[in-house]
Amino acid sequence: MKAIKLLTVVSVLTFSTLSASAYTTVKCDTDPAFAANSCNVCFLEAKGKWEGSNLGFLKDEWINNSTSDKILYKVEQEMPKMINLSPSLVEWTQTPKTEFWEYPKSLNDIYDDENEGYVLAKGKKVTWIQSKKWAAFTLKKNKVAEGKNIGLLKYNLTTHNISANGDINTDWDEHTECVLYKSGKKVEKAVVVPGKKATPKAPAKKLPKTGPEHYILFILLSMILAFWVMKLRKKA
């Protein structure tokens, strides 16, 4: 690794951010759980979680809003972790138990051979960490009342400033993002069971209406029939 020279340059801000619309940015003083875990940037998951809920396809972005380039060394990073905020009433499981996280191609693309680290230019951003395709946290047990804290997903990112002449600051910036999860109530959706379509019934046949004219016609026909019967008998 290139020798890291101590600089007197004051470290400027770099930060990462979660890439998920389901999270709402909140102030870190809105909940004691953020302060207890030294969170710098804080998020609240929009919907509560209930027993059996899964969390997957997780990722975090590293954004360099400073006035200098930044460098990241993998050896200094701590993998994100789920912190159980109510161990006696809540149980989170992790699948797989190891190798849950991975560095994506987007990070590998900014590897700097000379400095043997990952250099992010000022004003740029990159996804630096993500969960593997089939990895997920599962809320296996939840006996906490709705609206109460159940978990905190914590992302730590450690980086160094790079001066204009290429020197790397031995001091580091440590950035901690946290996502707070609360207990929610499962909303049952109505299940429509497909069935056979009702066969439309054929319209009932209506008998012709009868009235006085029908009776007269009937009598005339009877008389004609009787006349012909009598005539045939005479001929016989």
Number of Cβ within a 10 Å radius of residue 234: 6
pLDDT at 223: 75
pTM score, whole prediction: 0.71
Among candidate residues 21, 41, 27, the one with its CA nearest the CA of residue 157? 41
pLDDT at 99: 94
pLDDT at 224: 75
pLDDT at 187: 73
Q: How far is CA 189 from CA 47, 186, 236, in A?
A: 16, 9, 87
Among candidate residues 39, 37, 44, 48, the one with its CA nearest the CA of residue 20? 44
pLDDT at 215: 46
pLDDT at 4: 44
pLDDT at 20: 46
pLDDT at 10: 33
Average pLDDT, consecutive stretches of 10 residues, N- to C-terminus, the chain (236 residues): 39 44 88 97 93 96 94 97 98 96 97 97 96 97 97 97 94 95 82 59 52 55 69 62
- In the chain, where does DSSP find H-type helix? 32-36, 105-108, 212-235
Domain coordinates in residue numbering, the chain:
15-182
